[in-house]
Amino acid sequence: MTLSIRSKVLLLSLTLLTIPYMGYEYVREMEHYLRVNLETSLEDTGKALASVLNERPALFQRTLMDTLCETEKLNAPFLTHPINLDGEINEWKRYLKGKSIYAEQHILQNIGEYSQNSLSFQHVVGKDHHYLYLLFIVRDDHVIYRDISLSRLDKSDHLQIVIQAPNQRLYHYVIVPQAAGWVNAYNVSDTDMYAYQAQTKNSIQGMWKETKEGYRLEVRIPLSLIGERVGFAIADIDETKHRNIKTIIGTTPISNWDSQGRVLIPVEKIERIIRSLGEREGRRLWVLDKQQRVLAKSGQLQRDFPHSNLNALYSLLLSPTLTQNSQIIEEEKINSAFYGNANTRWHTLNKHTSIISSAHPIWSQKQVMGVLIVEESSNRIQILQRQAIAKLFNRTLIIFSIVTVLLLVFATRLSVRLHVLCHQAETAIDMNGRITTTQIGSQDKDEIGDLARSFSAMLEKLQQYNTYLEGMASKLSHELRTPIAVVRSSLDNLEQELTFQSASYIYIERAKEGLKRLNTIITRLSEATRLEQVLKNVEREPFELGQVVHSCIDAYRLVYPNQDFQSILTQTPIHLEGAPDLIAQMLDKLIANAVDFSTLNKSIIIKLEKKGQTVHLKIINCGKSLPTEMQERLFESMVSLRSQVDVNKHEPHLGLGLYMVRLIVIYHGGHVKADNNPDCPGAIFTVSLPISNVQSP
């Protein structure tokens, strides 16, 4: 593929795109410094707010009686008869009436499309003096049991239990069966719902029984373990390859801190303090008491970005932004603050978005009364990055556009000048090889001007040389004829003195034959020169082409008695304007060429036909085929294929005959071409001439 100068310059201008790329990489590297700045800002805000709340114990003296329960209360009727843990529902039938199905409206987590056949359940609760009994009738289209080779407890279908003990602490349990039958609960870590190591809680027992639609699970929990609140959730896994949880449906949203711990009635004074001193867009503040219950909350993590038509582009270049508020408070990051140590840490909310949290203890009489948490997402950093990239993009776009336009204008002007120079160089020499002009290009004082002047100097030298070559033929012809005449007269005198029987007579004949051939060469050398001079001065006249061709054919039959000629001439008069003598000379050259290359006993066909306003004269012979690479060069000067023919059969030739044919055809406004004969080995020479509207006299 060949590229133009403009294309190359345009490709070169694309290197300017490295400037915004370097700026983009710099903006991304700047994220580290922005994170440090954001950490410092949150730490300062946290310290300031915590210092305002220090030594104010009255703000934290709350009891459970002052709270509101935002979740549905657990209704556990007293059982009139004991429950056997056998997985059957006979003992529960009287309590099943009117029980709702926990399905889509109770989903805590779901991946993909949800189907009620995939996971839903009914839930029944009862108690006696010592135990809380539970029945779960679960519809599950794929029951997956625990693989004991896996240490994690969340890789199979299981029941999650969250209990608030009488001491107000929250305990997390899971029931994970390896097969249907008797099951026990595992006590998992508070900081990780699914720990790799867990302790078996033998006091929480149950029976897992598989059914056609899923399974039934009966569970017994000692009432001594249960305080004011308890929550349950069923987790469903549908495939055994990765064993990822697909759906979780719960009786209360146990994954939400707003339901695991009591959400206190907001302490208006605390909320007013943190709202007035620390609230800002994209920042969230929490105040927790020693029981890790929320006393006050202010602000949202979500932060709106300035409207821009390039936001979609920024989302591709930068990490996706936080589009919804996270409700997660990681217990691990606040435990340190409850022990009196302030800490700041980042955690990843999803694959691309991070949240920074700064937790600070609130002191009263050298005791930690609570924790202040200041949170902010990475959206603030992204806003700064977007603003920087926007400025960089806009300025680069302007500079790139200006430079590209200037380069294209320069390349276009350069390309136009080169095209003009190329056209002038091509037209400086006509199709006959003559130089028509020696002044090409511009006179600009640059490299292209120097190139044009070099072309002009070269053309002047070529013109001088061509003039010398064109005059050489006539000069040689004039200079050689005199010595040839002297040699011929001397041979004639010598021939008269010798008898025919003399042994020297044969040498005289050979010398005369050589002189004859030399005279033929001189004649043909000067013939082309004379024709060129004649074409400059000959006057055009109307004539009828058919008559000229017909009379020439009659003459050829006399000149070449051993050659058969066939003529196919149109009967329609064909009027041309030009020189009939030159047309006859052209036909002589074509016929002589056809005769020299024709096979014996093969006819030469002369065909004249009219097509529209053009007449076609064809000379067809059978003999030698034309080489493909020579079909266009045959009409050039000094080009001949006669070395391929028996030279003793012909007079000497210089390759000027077909060159003269082309000169005559061009003079009459036509063109000539040579093709191979498709019917037999040989050639077809076609002369196409325009028909004149002038009638011949």
CB 181 within 8 A of CB 207: yes
* Section 75-95 average pLDDT: 85
Assigned token pair, 401: 């556009």
Residue 69 has pLDDT above 50, yes or no: no
Residue 390 has pLDDT above 90, yes or no: no
**Structure-token match 């580290």, residue found:** 32
What's the rounded Cα separation, in Å, for the pair 516 and 43? 118
The residues facing 685 across adjacent strands are: 619, 674
CB 586 within 8 A of CB 660: yes
Cβ neighbours of residue 310 closer than 8 Å, sequence gap 6 or more: 390, 393
What's the rounded Cα separation, in Å, for the pair 437 and 250? 97
pLDDT of residue 144: 94
* Section 520-547 average pLDDT: 75
Assigned token pair, 520: 């033929």
Q: What are the φ and ψ backbone dihedral angles of 614, each rounded to 5 degrees?
A: -130, 140
Q: What are the φ and ψ backbone dihedral angles of 592, each rounded to 5 degrees?
A: -60, -40
Residue 53 has pLDDT above 60, yes or no: yes
Burial class of residue 351 in the structure, from the number of CB atoms within 10 Å of its CB (0-12 exposed, 13-18 middle, 19+ buried): exposed
SS3 at position 264: coil
* Section 219-245 average pLDDT: 89
Residue 582 has pLDDT above 60, yes or no: yes
> Percent of the chain scored above 90 by pLDDT?
11
pLDDT of residue 142: 92
Q: What are the φ and ψ backbone dihedral angles of 86, each rounded to 5 degrees?
A: -125, 0
What residue type is 272 in one-letter code? R
| Range of weakest confidence among 200-209, 561-570, 594-603 | 594-603
SS3 at position 255: coil
The residues facing 357 across adjacent strands are: 345, 375
| Range of weakest confidence among 207-216, 523-532, 544-553 | 523-532
pLDDT of residue 192: 63
What's the rounded Cα separation, in Å, for the pair 115 and 244? 17
Residue 383 has pLDDT above 80, yes or no: no
* Section 414-439 average pLDDT: 80
pLDDT of residue 190: 53
Describe the crossing of helices 447-497 and 505-537 by its angle, rounded to 10 degrees. 140
pLDDT of residue 314: 55
Residue 253 has pLDDT above 50, yes or no: no
Strand ranges for 494-561 from DSSP E:
541-544
Grade residue 500 by pLDDT with cuts at 50, 70 and 90: low
Residue 134 has pLDDT above 80, yes or no: yes
* Section 236-260 average pLDDT: 72
CB 371 within 8 A of CB 288: yes
CB 165 within 8 A of CB 171: yes
Tell me, rounded to whole angstroms, the distance of Cα 292 from its chain centroid.
54
What's the rounded Cα separation, in Å, for the pair 531 and 524? 11
pLDDT of residue 678: 84
Residue 650 has pLDDT above 80, yes or no: no
Grade residue 79 by pLDDT with cuts at 50, 70 and 90: confident
* Section 325-339 average pLDDT: 64
> Percent of the chain scored above 70 by pLDDT?
79
What's the rounded Cα separation, in Å, for the pair 423 and 429? 11
What's the rounded Cα separation, in Å, for the pair 388 and 399? 17
Give the DSSP letter of residue 371: E
User: Of residues 683 and 62, which shows the higher confidence score?
Assistant: 683
Grade residue 74 by pLDDT with cuts at 50, 70 and 90: low
What 560-566 contacts at long range (C-beta under 8 Å, 24+ apart), as own/partner pairs, is: 560/591, 560/595, 563/595, 563/598, 563/604, 564/601, 564/602, 564/603, 564/604, 565/603, 565/604, 565/605, 565/606, 566/603, 566/604, 566/605, 566/606
pLDDT of residue 376: 85
| Range of weakest confidence among 136-145, 176-185, 425-434 | 425-434
Q: Calculate the dihedral angle through the C-alpha atoms of 26, 27, 33, 37, rounding to the nearest 10 degrees.
A: 160
pLDDT of residue 41: 87
What residue type is 256 in one-letter code? N
SS3 at position 606: strand
Cβ neighbours of residue 14 closer than 8 Å, sequence gap 6 or more: none
> Per this entry, what is the length of the chain?
697
Give the DSSP letter of residue 78: B
Q: What are the φ and ψ backbone dihedral angles of 664, each rounded to 5 degrees?
A: -70, -40
pLDDT of residue 180: 93
Cβ neighbours of residue 521 closer than 8 Å, sequence gap 6 or more: 652, 654
pLDDT of residue 71: 44
What's the rounded Cα separation, in Å, for the pair 494 and 508? 8
**Structure-token match 């790329």, residue found:** 21
The residues facing 346 across adjacent strands are: 356
3-state secondary structure 80-140: CCCCCCCCCCHHHHHHHCCCCEECHHHEEEECCCCCCCCCEEEEEEEECCCEEEEEEEEEC
User: Of residues 479 and 283, which shows the higher confidence score?
Assistant: 283
User: Of residues 228 and 211, which shows the higher confidence score?
Assistant: 211
Strand ranges for 496-629 from DSSP E:
541-544, 565-569, 575-578, 604-611, 614-622
pLDDT of residue 468: 73
- On average, the pLDDT of the chain sits at 78
Residue 135 has pLDDT above 90, yes or no: yes
Query: pLDDT tens for residues 254-282?
Result: 444 334 333 344 567 888 888 888 777 77
According to the per-residue pLDDT averaged within each range, which of 325-329, 527-531, 573-577 is highest?
573-577
SS3 at position 632: coil
Assigned token pair, 663: 């000169």
User: Of residues 462 and 646, which shows the higher confidence score?
Assistant: 462
What's the rounded Cα separation, in Å, for the pair 331 and 255? 12
Grade residue 315 by pLDDT with cuts at 50, 70 and 90: low
What's the rounded Cα separation, in Å, for the pair 694 and 291? 119
**Structure-token match 């266009």, residue found:** 632
Cβ neighbours of residue 31 closer than 8 Å, sequence gap 6 or more: 381, 385
Q: Is the dihedral of CA 556, 560, 561, 562 positive or negative?
A: negative
What's the rounded Cα separation, in Å, for the pair 566 and 651? 25
| Range of weakest confidence among 12-26, 145-159, 193-207 | 12-26
